Amino acid sequence: MPDSYPRAIIFDLDDTILDTTLSADRLWSRAAEHFSERAGLDAKAFDQQMKASREWFWSDPERNRAGRMDLYKARSGCVEHALQMLNASNAELATALADWFTERRVTAMTPFDGAIETLQTLKAAGVRLALISNGKGETQRDKVIRFGLEPIFDCIILEGEFGVGKPDRRVFDHALTELNATPSNTWIVGDNLQWEVAAPQALGIKGIWVDWRGAGLPTDTDVKPDRIIRSISELVES
Ligand SMILES: [Mg+2]
């Protein structure tokens, strides 16, 4: 094993291995176009407001927790919120749009370029690998299977199956036990500054932040990642 690798690395799934937000944004834009006439709205304005409504919805930790356990309700709620903000309330249309989106959601998602190859390279180098993903067990397990991730990881913890999710320390402790690793020889890699940097750093794990947007650290955070990367393929580049 190269000296530069730790004994174990814990990975996040969404927006770390998979292009979750990018693929969703693209699909929401298509939905805005498809439904704008029926909503009596300009497609671009509708798309922008739906994006703002999603950001508003997911930024609240409690709404986020409930929403990731019932994605359909979160989706229709965000559309309804957007329609309200545009003075175009229409519960029937919100449901129809959420249905349209949900039917297409899973197949629209793909791994980031080089992500699967990176995981395989690390595995081949002898690094023990864990996946910790928040969200409904069924939804997250479906992604794990669809993208062939099960055989790559030594340990997979999905919030809906495990009972608690990040940033609860029990998920990190469980992963370390399964990986037979200690915090000081473990890295964690993910896009959420609280879940994959601040909380695990408090346990002594090295927190690597995936800035997939390339926007840099938000100005309002005091979280200090040990390393910032644009994509996980940087982990195996010499
Ligand atoms: Mg993520």
**Residue 18 Cα, ligand 1 centroid: separation in angstroms?**
9
Which residue has 């176009």 as its token pair? 33
238 residues of the chain, pLDDT tens digit each: 556 899 999 999 999 999 999 999 999 999 999 999 999 999 999 999 999 999 999 999 999 999 999 999 999 999 999 999 999 999 999 999 999 999 999 899 999 999 999 999 999 999 999 999 999 999 999 999 999 999 999 999 999 999 999 999 999 999 999 999 999 999 999 999 999 999 999 999 999 999 999 999 999 999 999 999 999 999 998 6
Three-class SS of residue 203?
coil
CA 190 – ligand 1 centroid, Å: 6
Using alpha carbons, list the distances in angstroms from residue 47 to 100, 131, 213.
15, 33, 19
Contact 17, 112 (CB under 8 A): yes
Q: Rounded to the nearest 10 degrees, how much is the dihedral formed by the CA atoms of 198, 199, 203, 208?
A: -50
Q: Fill in the amino acid letter for 30.
A: R
- The tokens describing 187, both together, are 């890295």
- pLDDT at 106 (0 to 100): 87
What is the distance in A from the centroid of ligand 1 to the CA of 47?
23
**Residue 139 structure tokens:** 């939804």
Per-residue buried b or exposed e for 182-203, using 16+ beta carbons within 10 Å of the residue's own CB:
ebebbbbbbbbbebbbbbbbee
| Size of the chain, expressed as the number of residues it contains | 238
CA of 101 to the centre of ligand 1 (A): 20
Question: How far does residue 24's CA lie from ligand 1's centre (Å)?
Answer: 13
DSSP 101-140: HHHHHHHH--BPTTHHHHHHHHHHTT-EEEEEE-S-HHHH
d(CA 171, CA 145): 21
pTM: 0.90
Measured in Å, residue 10 CA sits from the centre of ligand 1 at 12
Return the residue matching tokens 């840099």.
Answer: 216
pLDDT at 87: 97
